[in-house]
């Protein structure tokens, strides 16, 4: 069962965890920068930049939480929606600029797969081994599941017209733009529910897009934040965001040489490696929350990310592509990517709709993830 | 929550709404006829004939309800199943006779899409904005959802054998006939449940195919019928049916010139334009019922139509095709149409299975409809 | 509702039914052997061998149940998982050795289809006509449904990479082996839950893979076993297993000539004929249990078989293929087989998730089975 989060015991500005995080962030970022400017060791650069990215993503996440807590309830949800996937957005933007279209598409899909199958699966396994069968709000789960399925289906329409050779072939750019507008409109329409939920926790309005007050508090407690004053929160957010921008560029720069050295293809790199690095935050937080038997919040944190990626990041990237010199970018995913997306959305809905989780269900999710990843090993 | 429908307050033979409807029907029908015989203004003919068709469909619907009320409970359900989609059946038959195979197939699919996504979505939006979260019988919803999924899957089998190039290629006509027989058999097997439900409202037998007593009463009240004597009901039904037959022919006659003038392709015309015109009744009634917070009846009225189209109209058209000079007509839909069908059935099941609806869910359904329609803009 | 099974009234070692079964088994086996060695009447050999196989499968099933009852609770579940599909495994192995790859793949798929659609459908029809609407544990149903969907999706991954022409083409053998390992790992991970459930019936651990104590007892009662001593159980199991091995070889030997004589193609033979023969046990037991209003056990017995086939038989066949001289065997199913699998898994989940069954739902399942089988009539 889910317990109400209590006030954090620490009253310091920076908790011990915060200090460790800041240190890691600074360290890895500096190291990634040194490697980028000074050397050409492809794989090392790639790994260090990836690690720095994961840490910076965690820092961005905490700064956003702290900021939201200071600015008020409504801001928490909106900010988390806007900035929660910031590092991933940078990586995708830089990849697009570098002309790595395959990486962009497989990162978008991989991010959804990683959350829905791998991270949710690991969270279920950890929580199940520790607490046996866990329960969570089936109603909120259903809402998230429906949003995910809709986002996945709409996202797959350009790919379907292309691979099924309908007369829409040749117009994929236009169709991708249309589809992007529809998805952004859906996202915008979901914000009122978000606002209502974050300002009035008693209003049982299931918000599929953004964290609500209780979830944010639970996350904060699980991660043992300190109490950050407003200035510190804004400052660290800006620094972390700037750092993420730089490190993303170094990461994308090192990506192609690294995967050539390792003999991995672009699609697998985006689908598995980049996606997991970019979602390290949800991974850690989700497992922490399940381990603390707060399955409700865990499911929300893990499931909101792929919905946001599908409804905001994919459309924004499509619409902004001409600005990044990739005016012909379309949302035409390869058929295998579409199949992977649909499979994972289907399984997610089945697993979440009953409001219960067992460690075995978690194993099953991870098994499907491994099988899908294996299918992309060769491209 | 759903309230029990009360007795209609009006005791007149023709209520004010009835008079308006009869006037509109007569007017549009005459205008459509004049335009058909006197002019060649393609688009105008098409639009007026379409409007006349929608109004006549509404009149047929009311006459059937009134007739059922006079003849008894069992008749209500059977008649509505048989005649509820009459105008659409005429359009499809005339299109088939005119050799417009693509229009026939996309009208069948479009009718299902329009009800399951667009009309249900609009009803959810209207009802949700007015009454907040609405509830309806999850059990009946699940029954309807299962029937829809089964009908869609069986309907897609000929298309799958064709597009997947199985050895069944070349035998699509035979397979389509087999599949049609199976679907009509299923429909026939559902009639006992219909009869039991319409004669004994206490029997909680979920009838997926036809309206039950309470739903019929709710519809009548929402539409504010007068009390039609048996003779009037039969007479108006015959007149409306005859009118629908004529207007359907004028509609199909004007279809090809109109879409050529407007630059729309056959598939989009059938999928969106013809389908919406033919389902204007469910549209209006469904929204009325949701606005009156009678979500139970609304969901039934809206969801029964696509199930009937799939289980009766598609098979009847296939079996009767040789009589209309189209002996080679098959149920081989284009792969994109099958994808659209499967998507909408899936989403409908997810939306209905929880027995609740919000205005946002309605927006999501409409968003998917728009994205799918956009994919067919070019053909 | 489900009633608790009572102690069997017969206290004889061999009940009347047991004697009939043993007689039939011996008779058909001997006849099949005589026909195999003495004649070349293809169709007759095939039919008699098929009948012998079905009877021997039933005998193996009862011997396993009796053995489990003697050896203890934990053994019941494990033994049933391991040996329940033994005759089918023999047929598949001999077909593989004879180079009938298409038969192997379509038998695997057909076994799943037969259970999920035809047998479950017939059970629902019989039970529904006799007892009206029946209820069963939705929770266990959901667990089984999820396992089935996962197994089907993982099983379809090699086929998808091949038919979608991804770069994995050419590596199907490796991918099939990987996927087989993943599925066997999942199966192994499910055994703890099986053990816990069979040793402690109070532990409401839904075991998707093997029968629990109560189910085994219900089956025994429905089939009216006698009380077999340990020695008799082991002896009859060994004899039946040996007989099944021989008859399987005769069955496969007669298969190709028979289907050529009858003009049936390999795929249809495997999908429908072999699959139904190999699952005659589940058929009989499932219908018996539904007729006795024990829907809970019926659903478990019928649904566990396809899950086991997907998670154990398909992988074992793939891994052992080199030993049978078919080192290039892959799990690449034809696209139409994959479509059939996915359809049936989807419908099964919808039908089972609400925890209720009606005779009409049963008709719908059978209708889908007929439509799918019709699609494979030509290959």
pLDDT band of residue B157 (cuts 50, 70, 90) is very high
Whether residue C207 has pLDDT greater than 60 = no
Q: Do B164 and C336 touch (CB under 8 A)?
A: yes
Whether residue A120 has pLDDT greater than 70 = yes
Q: Do A146 and B367 touch (CB under 8 A)?
A: no
Burial category of A131 from C-beta neighbours within 10 Å (exposed 0-12, middle 13-18, buried 19 and up)? middle
Q: At B357, which helix (H) or strand (E)? A: strand B356-357
Give the pLDDT confidence of C10-26 residue by residue, as tens digits.
Answer: 456 778 878 888 888 88
Q: Which residues of A touch B372 (CB under 8 A)?
A: 157
Q: Do C186 and A370 touch (CB under 8 A)?
A: no
Tokens 């600005």 found at? A323
pLDDT at C67: 76
pLDDT at A214: 65
pLDDT at A112: 92
Q: Which residues of B touch C377 (CB under 8 A)?
A: 168, 171
Q: Do B168 and C364 touch (CB under 8 A)?
A: no
Q: Do C371 and B149 touch (CB under 8 A)?
A: no
HSE-CB for C225 with a 13 A CA cutoff: 25
Query: Are C127 and C298 a contacting pair, CB within 8 Å?
Result: yes
Distance CA A20, CA A5 (A): 23
Distance CA C47, CA C310 (A): 26
Distance CA C87, CA C93 (A): 10
**Higher pLDDT pick, A223 / A360:** A360
Q: A332-370: string of b/e by CB count within 10 Å (b at 16+)? A: bbbbbbbbbbbbbbbbbbbbbbbbbbbbbbbbbbbbbbb
Mean local confidence (pLDDT), C114-137: 90
Whether residue B205 has pLDDT greater than 50 = no
pLDDT at A63: 81
pLDDT at C225: 65
Residue of C nearest to B192 (CA): C360
Q: Which residues of B touch C366 (CB under 8 A)?
A: none
Q: What does each C-alpha distance from C89 to B354, C57, C240, C244, C255 come to in angstroms? A: 41, 11, 14, 10, 16
Q: How many CB atoms lie within 10 A of CB B9?
A: 8
Q: Mutual orientation of helices A120-131 and A359-375 as an angle, nearest 10°?
A: 150
pLDDT band of residue A210 (cuts 50, 70, 90) is low
List chains adjacent to chain C, taking adjacency as at least 3 C-beta pairs closer than 8 Å. A, B
Interface test mutation site (partner C, options A371, A373, A379, max chain C beta carbons within 10 A): A371
Residue of C nearest to A343 (CA): C153
Distance CA C254, CA B179 (A): 32
Q: Nearest to residue C152, comparing CAs of C348, C371, C352, C374?
A: C348
Q: Nearest to residue C106, comparing CAs of C301, C268, C335?
A: C268
Distance CA A293, CA A284 (A): 14
Interface test mutation site (partner B, options A141, A143, A159, A166, max chain B beta carbons within 10 A): A166
State the SS3 of C53-80. Answer: HHHHHHHHHHHHHHHHHHHCHHHHHHHH
Using DSSP's 3-state secondary structure scheme, residue B134 falls into strand
Of C163, C343, C378, the CB nearest to B153: C343
Give the pLDDT confidence of B16-48 residue by residue, as tens digits.
Answer: 878 888 888 888 888 888 888 888 788 888 888
pLDDT band of residue C8 (cuts 50, 70, 90) is very low
Give the pLDDT confidence of A283-325 residue by residue, as tens digits.
Answer: 777 888 888 888 887 888 888 888 888 888 899 999 999 988 8
pLDDT band of residue A223 (cuts 50, 70, 90) is low
Whether residue A9 has pLDDT greater than 50 = no
Of C335, C347, C351, the CB nearest to B153: C347
Q: Nearest to residue B374, comparing CAs of B233, B271, B234, B252?
A: B271
pLDDT at C24: 86
Residue of A nearest to C160 (CA): A336
Q: What is the mean pLDDT of chain B?
A: 82
Give the pLDDT confidence of C228-278 residue by residue, as tens digits.
Answer: 788 888 888 888 888 889 998 998 888 888 888 888 888 898 899 888 887
Cα separation of the two ends of chain C? 42
Query: What are B's interface residues with A at a Cβ cutoff of 8 A?
Result: 163, 265, 334-336, 339, 343, 346-347, 350-351, 354, 360-361, 363-364, 367-368, 370-372, 374-379
Give the pLDDT confidence of C294-334 residue by residue, as tens digits.
Answer: 888 888 888 888 888 888 899 999 999 998 888 888 999 99
pLDDT at B182: 94
Q: At B284, which helix (H) or strand (E)? A: helix B280-291
Name C357's bridge partners. C134
Burial category of A264 from C-beta neighbours within 10 Å (exposed 0-12, middle 13-18, buried 19 and up)? middle
pLDDT band of residue B9 (cuts 50, 70, 90) is very low
pLDDT band of residue C167 (cuts 50, 70, 90) is confident
Q: What does each C-alpha distance from B255 to A110, A268, B32, B42, B274 come to in angstroms? A: 45, 49, 13, 8, 9
pLDDT at B225: 65
Interface test mutation site (partner A, options C143, C152, C158, C167, max chain A beta carbons within 10 A): C167
Query: In the structure encoding, which two tokens stand for residue C334, read together?
Result: 């034809």
pLDDT at C123: 92
pLDDT at C342: 94
Whether residue B152 has pLDDT greater than 90 = yes
Query: In the structure encoding, which two tokens stand for residue B231, read together?
Result: 């003779």
Mean local confidence (pLDDT), B215-237: 75
Distance CA A283, CA A277 (A): 10
Taking the CA of residue C110 and the nearest CA in chain A, the distance in Å comes to: 22
Tokens 């039934």 found at? B300
pLDDT at A188: 87
Distance CA C224, CA C285 (A): 11
pLDDT band of residue B4 (cuts 50, 70, 90) is very low
Q: At B365, which helix (H) or strand (E)? A: helix B359-375
Give the pLDDT confidence of C331-368 residue by residue, as tens digits.
Answer: 999 999 999 999 999 998 998 888 888 898 899 999 99
Interface test mutation site (partner A, options B375, B376, B379, max chain A beta carbons within 10 A): B375
Query: What are C's interface residues with A at a Cβ cutoff of 8 A?
Result: 139, 142, 145-147, 149-150, 153-154, 157-158, 160-161, 164, 166-168, 170-171, 175, 178-179, 182-183, 185-186, 189-190, 193, 349
Q: Do C350 and B154 touch (CB under 8 A)?
A: no
Q: Do A157 and B374 touch (CB under 8 A)?
A: yes
Q: ipTM of this model?
A: 0.84
Q: Enter the pTM of the model.
A: 0.86
pLDDT at B280: 76
């Amino acid at each position: 069962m889910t317990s109400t989060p209590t006030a954090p015991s620490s009253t310091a500005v920076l908790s011990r965890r915060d200090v460790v995080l800041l240190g890691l962030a600074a360290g890895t970022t500096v190291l990634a920068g040194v490697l980028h400017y000074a050397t050409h060791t492809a794989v090392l650069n790639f790994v260090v930049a990836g690690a720095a990215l994961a840490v910076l993503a965690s820092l961005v996440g905490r700064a956003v939480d702290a900021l939201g807590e200071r600015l008020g309830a409504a801001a928490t949800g909106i900010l988390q929606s806007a900035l929660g996937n910031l590092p991933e957005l940078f990586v995708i933007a830089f990849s697009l600029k570098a002309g790595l279209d395959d990486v962009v598409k497989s990162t978008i899909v991989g991010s959804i797969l990683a959350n829905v199958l791998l991270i949710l699966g690991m969270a279920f396994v950890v929580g199940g081994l520790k607490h046996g069968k866990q329960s969570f709000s089936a109603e909120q789960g259903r809402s998230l599941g429906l949003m995910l399925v809709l986002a996945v289906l709409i996202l797959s329409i350009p790919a379907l017209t292309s691979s099924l050779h309908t007369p829409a072939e040749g117009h994929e750019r236009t169709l991708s733009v249309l589809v992007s507008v529809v998805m952004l409109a859906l996202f915008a329409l979901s914000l009122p529910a978000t606002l209502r939920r974050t300002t009035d926790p008693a209003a049982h309005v299931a918000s599929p897009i953004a964290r609500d007050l209780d979830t944010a508090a639970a996350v904060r407690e699980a991660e043992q934040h300190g109490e950050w004053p407003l200035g510190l929160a804004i400052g660290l957010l800006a620094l972390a965001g700037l750092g993420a921008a730089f490190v993303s560029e170094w990461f994308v720069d090192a990506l192609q040489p690294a995967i050539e050295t390792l003999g991995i293809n672009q699609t697998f790199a985006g689908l598995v490696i980049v996606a997991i690095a970019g979602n390290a935050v949800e991974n850690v937080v989700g497992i922490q929350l399940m381990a603390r038997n707060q399955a409700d919040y865990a499911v929300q944190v893990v499931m909101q990310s792929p919905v946001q990626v599908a409804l905001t990041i994919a459309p924004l990237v499509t619409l902004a592509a001409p600005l990044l010199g990739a005016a012909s970018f379309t949302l035409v995913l390869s058929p295998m990517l579409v199949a992977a997306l649909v499979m994972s959305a289907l399984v997610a809905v089945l697993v979440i709709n009953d409001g219960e989780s067992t460690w075995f269900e978690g194993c099953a999710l991870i098994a499907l993830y491994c099988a899908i990843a294996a299918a992309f090993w060769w491209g």
